Amino acid sequence: MPNDALTDVAESTLETRRGTFRAVAFRERSGGPEHLALVHGDPRPGQDVLVRVHSECLTGDVFDALRCDCGAQLSSALEAIVAEGTGVLVYLRGHEGRGIGLVAKVRTHVLQDEQGLDTVDSATALGLPVDVRDFGAAARVLRHLGVTSVRLLSNNGDKVDALTGHGVAVAARVPLLEPVTEQNVRYLTAKRDRLGHDLPHLDPVHRP
């Protein structure tokens, strides 16, 4: 298991429209990106804590872009954690476009719009990897918070494997299904067919 020491940690109270959280800003390593964990309630050792590990998506999370479901998932995850009464949302920066960065992601959007490529083929057409995200930082901050077993808000089995591989037990995967729209159906279909996400609400009606 990797060294759990985080390079830099700062904590404060964060009041939001959804509720009050303990904001834990941290770095996993010197020079690395700064991440944020939002802790609601009082997660305790031994609990299977409701957790969302969310990859940064500036266009979706901040500007409510309709081509992806990222912003909607972020909102739904926060609402679920508050409704639960306790839980953690880990927001991982440096994950834009599954790790390729913002400029490259916008370039993939051009190929998607002009050539009809999906989110996978538009990345590889530019010579970029499909997914280079590392979820080790999420595992480290969860253990820093005393969270060792989670119910993971995700449709992505790879996140389950990643957290498990970094020493955090996943007691259950909790689906986080957002409405299918004309704008996001191609993206969601690629997630299901190309990236293995469990999206049963796409079947059998919704096809690009």
Q: Active site residue: 131, 134, 158, 193, which one? A: 131
Contact 50, 78 (CB under 8 A): no
Closest C-alpha among 190, 65, 197 to residue 206 = 190
Closest C-alpha among 22, 28, 25, 21 to residue 36 = 25
Residue 133 a catalytic site member:
yes
Angle at 157 between CA 98 and CA 87, to 5 degrees: 85
| Alpha-carbon torsion (60, 82, 44, 36), positive or negative | positive
How many CA atoms within 13 Å lie on the side-chain side of 64?
1
Contact 114, 122 (CB under 8 A): no
Residue 131 a catalytic site member:
yes
Q: Active site residue: 52, 107, 133, 140, which one? A: 133
Catalytic residues: 131, 133
